[in-house]
Amino acid sequence: MAVNQSQLGQMFEQVLHLSKVDATQSVAILKSHYSDARTVQAATDAALRLGAKVYCVELPAFNHPTAMGNDMTAYCGDTALTGNIAAQRALEAADLIVDTMMLLHSPEQEQILKTGTRILLAVEPPEVLARMLPTEEDKTRVLAAAAVLEKARIMTVKSQAGSDFRAPLGQYPTVTEYGYADEPGRWDHWPSGFLFTWPNEDQAEGVLVLEVGDILLPFKSYARERITLEIEKGFVTRIHGGFEAEYLRDYMSYFNDPEVYGISHIGWGLQPRAQWTAMGLHDKNDGMCMDARAFYGNFLFSTGPNTEVGGKRKTPCHMDIALRRCDIKVDDLLVVAEGQVVAPEASLAR
């Protein structure tokens, strides 16, 4: 199926309106040659219709010689903006940046946000954007869960498969993603609908067991056999299982950087329109598979960079791993029970 340009333009108008775009605002459309032309056009037309002053910043693509695959989360940190001070200043001048080329997990993104500029990432295929068009109800639910997470001192995750993971919290902030950038200095991603934080440095510990069907990004694969990760002092120390464990070990060791094993963001999915099955219906080059990160009731954990919140780990290897059927507790509150969101009440999808 395909979204027509008129529909896509109307959707962008809705999301940019939620992102507080109006005649008082300037909007920069950040792109590179690989940006989706339909998305760039729709964002530009919508911002103009909302009365904003619109400009485009096009950057020559950046490719690191060691980067593998086309998923934009496969190589994090250095981007087409790295070192391009003039372009960064041009972007910092905007009230809102629609990012169609991916700055996420780069220090430059943090520097731009600190100036008060808002960033909305939109790199998924238009049809995926359409299926998960953000709503104010999404924001209400995600913020309700964030109110619990930001006060928590520990997150624990258990599962029938054998996961038994503990992450002391408090050193890092809670990050929410509800699909639009409506506050000064806010980054968000359309589509999304989940929340996360980072474990205190060097304190996460225990075992995470990927069960058959759990998702590994950027591989864009469903695990077909169990993979067991042992975590000590905030780092993955052992990865065991069969072929898929070997594949994960080999991939991570390729970067030849001990920091790739650090536990990065951890949280859970609250988007009922995101589907666990969606990844199986898309090609690997169709975006970054936000369905996997956002599907309702997942436990999403990740490894590698934590520069997004001022952490010291700037490493290019970023694994996002979504587990089903986990029990997730923040302090003593069970928020997800065997993959079903159970609390807080205001975070439940009706």
Ligand X SMILES: O=c1ccc(O)c[nH]1
In terms of CB distance, is 42 or 217 closer to Fe ion?
217
Residue that has been written with the tokens 């997800």 in this structure: 336
Please say whether the beta carbons of 268 and 336 come within 8 A.
Answer: yes
| Binding residues for Fe ion restricted to 281-310, rule: CB under 5 A | 302
Can you spell out the DSSP letters for 64-124? Answer: -TT--SS-TTSS-S--TTTT-HHHHHHHHT-SEEEESS--TT-HHHHHHHHTT-EEEE--S
How many residues form the binding site for Fe ion (CB under 5 A)? 2
| Binding residues for ligand X restricted to 79-138, rule: CB under 6 A | 104
In terms of CB distance, is 109 or 302 closer to Fe ion?
302
User: Rounded to the nearest whole angstrom, what is the least distance from the CB of residue 35 to ligand X in the complex?
Assistant: 17
Q: Which of 69, 101, 104, 312 is nearest to 196 (CA)?
A: 104
192 binding ligand X? (CB under 6 A): yes
Q: Exactly one of 118, 139, 189, 220 binds ligand X (CB under 6 A); which one?
A: 189
Q: Which does 29 bind (CB under 5 to 8 A by kind): Fe ion, ligand X, none?
A: none
The contact pattern for ligand X, residues 274-313, with x = CB under 6 A and - = no contact, is -------------------x--------x-----------
User: Rounded to the nearest whole angstrom, what is the least distance from the CB of residue 188 to ligand X in the complex?
Assistant: 8
Decide: helix, strand or coil at residue 254: helix
In terms of CB distance, is 95 or 259 closer to Fe ion?
259
C-alpha span between 110 and 309 (Å, rounded): 8
CA R_g for the chain: 19
In terms of CB distance, is 134 or 241 closer to ligand X?
134
C-alpha span between 179 and 124 (Å, rounded): 12
Applying CB under 6 A, the residues found at the interface with ligand X are 73, 104, 177, 189, 192, 293, 302, 318, 320
